[in-house]
Chains A and B, each alone.
Chain A
Amino acid sequence: MPKNIRFVQGNEACVEGALYAGLDFYAGYPITPSTEIAELLSERLPERGGKFIQMEDEIASMCAIIGASLTGKKVMTATSGPGFSLKQEAIGYACMAEIPCVIANVQRGGPSTGNPTHVSQGDINQARWGTHGDHSIIALTASNHQDVFKMTVDAFNMAETYRTPVVLLFDEVVGHMREKLIVPEKGELEIVDRLRTSVAKDVDYHPYLPREDGRLPMSDFGGEHRYNVTGLFHDMWGFPSNNPKIVSGLLRHLVDKIDNNVQAITRYKEHCLEGAEYILVSYGSSARSAIHLAQNRRSKGEKIGVLELQSLWPFPVELVKEKCAGAKAVLVVEMNMGQVLTQVKAAVKNPDRVFLANRIDGKLITPSDIKQLLRVIQGRGV
């Protein structure tokens, strides 16, 4: 029997995952429903020599973790809708300056102050396009606490691998629900540490010159290499440049380093998917209801399966296309007005056979909500 069995909230599973991944520095501002992450880390980080700071606002929190990351620390912040909006400019800075960091967004209802204590999945597109300008981004999600833990570890690993901000798109139900978590032993999950430059002291170091494999080894602020970091388009030394070649080259690099690795980044799970005629595509807490329905109907002989997405950005187009190829119909189960639906429609061969099963009233979508729509699509009455 595993030793480290815990009964925790999803937000706590996120904290455990972050600490397992090597989190050193957290800056945040209280906001429902993510606050437990800050509270727990204010206790847990100093116990291991790490740092926690409650900043004056959401913007400052995002900026502070970027500063800390540059000194070589693994960093994160957590927030929810309004705070996520405020952080967007600095998230764009981290994209542009290629600074590893993790941002957990425990989603609540929006727009604006919205429905702070109730569930929603309305920030999917904001995670993709919240900051201005072309860029690519990684966003991961999870429907249960074991996966919250794992996706949090993956988020830190991907932030280091691709030198980019990674967004964890959790939601209020997963964040506040309590269930079992088995904390893996040290070494059970892979941890990616920062790739640091091997360039010797006093040798010209190019912080923004990608290696052949596209990766950029870093040098910690305070170390032997002094270089410039800016949110302006910049050359290989990190110096501002508006040379058209440098501008287009950097923008392509920022997009390609993520979009060309969509397969390596893609995370998903299949539930009863073999031979499924009706496929439910879902993620986060919505997926729990989708999985429940599929398992229930399978036991009664209906060919229903679930494709649970755990990486939403870059969107796993090929995966969705392939898995949904044989389906009579696809239902996207989510708690918004169809943000992932649009992506699924664009991915599959028959977008006309893709339907939305949603709930947008702050209540968790239930298996019977999904079943009602499924019955209509199956031609089995209203």
Chain B
Amino acid sequence: MAVKDYLRERFLPHMWCPGCGHGTILNALVHAVEDLQLNKNEIVMVSGIGCSARISGYVDFHSLHTLHGRALAFATGVKLSRPHLKVLVPMGDGDALAIGGNHFIHAARRNIDMTAIVMNNRIYGMTGGQFSPLSGPGVKATTAPYKTIDNSFDVVELAKAAGATFVARSTAFHVKECTEMLAKAILHKGFSVVEIMSQCPTHFGRKNKEGDAVNMLGLYRDNTAKLGSKALEEKPGLIPRGIFVEQERPEYCEEYDKIIAYAMKEKIS
């Protein structure tokens, strides 16, 4: 199936600003799904609210555009009731780690088989550029005219600590890497988290003097390095990219099936 067969062309063009990284993430995701030759009827995309959340409208999967921060909670209902479905959960940084932070750590703890994609642009774009829990200190935003003092979460460390069994990070500059990571994450049995750093030239770039989209992408190229690379060894201050965790642990829906088998046997005997 061609890439365009995974898109709902009727609903394009998308509503993202020129230069937004989210379109690149959509591109990488659709290519990952194409590479895996997944059946569209078996994919459910559940998103929250915000710029990131609109991604679910553009893909020709079963799509559920939910409430701010609650995508993983809705997705848990979908997955547990129909475990054979592939569940993809793209979220913005606010969705995943501010209002939805509780659902994020608990979905990771359960190790329920779904793929959380954190489209991290370090800003609330839809509401006009307020800082997020991933902005970090020293950032200018419409609610931080004097710069932020809030520390940020490290998505990778948080996901690891909460029990996610696949954790990766890439950026909108590294499209092929994103595609490969997303494909691996989708195939992974368990809760997978892929953080993709995504430029928001409209709100983050402009206020923080990071320039236009091309310039911001250049920063992703220059300020990140592959796990295990010489560059990272030499400059430990760079943001590491790659797969940080990939391990097998009992998956929630499979464990629940064992409960069902046990409960049914108990009832008969």
* Chain B neighbourhood of A226, CB < 8 A: 40-41, 60-63
| Known contacts A222-B41, A222-B44, A228-B57; A63 and B63 CB within 8 A of each other | no
Q: A71 near B66 (CB under 8 angstroms)? A: no
Interface assignment of B85: CB less than 8 Å from any CB of chain A: yes
| Known contacts A60-B73, A68-B80, A239-B11; A224 and B103 CB within 8 A of each other | no
| Known contacts A46-B259, A224-B41; A230 and B65 CB within 8 A of each other | yes
* Chain B neighbourhood of A222, CB < 8 A: 41-42, 44, 62, 82, 84-85
- Nearest chain B CB to A165 CB, angstrom units: 14
The interface bits of chain B over 117-134 (1 if a CB of A lies within 8 angstroms of the residue's CB, else 0) are 000000000000000000
- Interface residue from B11, B64, B70, B263 paired with A47 (Cβ < 8 Å): B263
* Chain B neighbourhood of A66, CB < 8 A: 66, 74, 77
Q: B66 near A68 (CB under 8 angstroms)? A: no
Q: B63 near A223 (CB under 8 angstroms)? A: no
> Nearest A residue to B105 by beta-carbon distance?
A56
Interface assignment of B199: CB less than 8 Å from any CB of chain A: no
Interface assignment of A244: CB less than 8 Å from any CB of chain B: no
Interface assignment of B223: CB less than 8 Å from any CB of chain A: no
Q: A89 near B77 (CB under 8 angstroms)? A: no
- For residues 226 through 269 of chain B, which have their beta carbon under 8 Å from a beta carbon of chain A? 256, 259-260, 262-264, 266-267
* Chain A neighbourhood of B62, CB < 8 A: 70, 221-222, 226-227
- Interface residue from A49, A55, A93 paired with B76 (Cβ < 8 Å): A55
Assembly CA distance A11 to B82 (angstroms): 28
- Interface residue from B56, B262, B267 paired with A228 (Cβ < 8 Å): B56
Assembly CA distance A25 to B79 (angstroms): 12
* Chain A neighbourhood of B147, CB < 8 A: none
- Interface residue from B40, B60, B65 paired with A229 (Cβ < 8 Å): B65
Q: A239 near B57 (CB under 8 angstroms)? A: yes
* Chain B neighbourhood of A55, CB < 8 A: 73, 76, 106
* Chain B neighbourhood of A221, CB < 8 A: 44, 62, 64, 78, 82, 85
Interface assignment of B102: CB less than 8 Å from any CB of chain A: yes
Q: A51 near B256 (CB under 8 angstroms)? A: yes
- Nearest chain B CB to A313 CB, angstrom units: 23
Interface assignment of A216: CB less than 8 Å from any CB of chain B: no
* Chain A neighbourhood of B56, CB < 8 A: 228
* Chain B neighbourhood of A75, CB < 8 A: 77
Instruction: Count residues of chain A with CB under 8 A from any CB of chain B.
Output: 43
Q: A68 near B78 (CB under 8 angstroms)? A: yes
- Nearest chain B CB to A117 CB, angstrom units: 27
Q: A89 near B67 (CB under 8 angstroms)? A: yes
- For residues 19 through 78 of chain A, which have their beta carbon under 8 Å from a beta carbon of chain B? 24-25, 27, 43, 46-49, 51, 53, 55-57, 59-61, 63-71, 73, 75
Assembly CA distance A90 to B73 (angstroms): 11
Instruction: Count residues of chain B with CB under 8 A from any CB of chain A.
Output: 40
| Known contacts A221-B82, A222-B41, A223-B41; A64 and B73 CB within 8 A of each other | yes
Q: B63 near A228 (CB under 8 angstroms)? A: yes
Interface assignment of B216: CB less than 8 Å from any CB of chain A: no
- Nearest chain A CB to B109 CB, angstrom units: 9
- Interface residue from B57, B74, B80 paired with A53 (Cβ < 8 Å): B80
- Nearest chain B CB to A357 CB, angstrom units: 40
| Known contacts A227-B62, A230-B65; A67 and B41 CB within 8 A of each other | no
- Nearest chain B CB to A294 CB, angstrom units: 44
> Nearest A residue to B11 by beta-carbon distance?
A239
Q: B267 near A47 (CB under 8 angstroms)? A: yes
Interface assignment of A338: CB less than 8 Å from any CB of chain B: no
Q: A60 near B103 (CB under 8 angstroms)? A: yes
Assembly CA distance A226 to B79 (angstroms): 16
* Chain A neighbourhood of B76, CB < 8 A: 27, 53, 55, 60, 63-64, 67
* Chain A neighbourhood of B266, CB < 8 A: 47
Q: B81 near A93 (CB under 8 angstroms)? A: no
- Interface residue from B57, B65, B67 paired with A90 (Cβ < 8 Å): B67
By a beta-carbon cutoff of 8 Å, the part of chain A in contact with chain B is: 24-25, 27, 43, 46-49, 51, 53, 55-57, 59-61, 63-71, 73, 75, 89-90, 93, 221-224, 226-232, 239-240
Could you list 25 A-B pairs, sorted by A, with CB under 8 Å? A25-B80, A27-B77, A43-B263, A47-B263, A55-B73, A56-B73, A56-B106, A60-B73, A61-B73, A63-B76, A65-B77, A66-B66, A66-B77, A67-B64, A67-B75, A71-B81, A71-B85, A222-B62, A222-B85, A223-B41, A226-B41, A228-B63, A230-B65, A231-B65, A239-B11
Given contacts A48-B264, A70-B64, 20 further A-B contacts (CB under 8 A): A25-B77, A43-B263, A46-B260, A47-B266, A47-B267, A51-B260, A55-B73, A55-B106, A60-B103, A60-B106, A64-B73, A66-B66, A67-B78, A71-B78, A221-B64, A221-B82, A222-B84, A222-B85, A226-B61, A231-B65
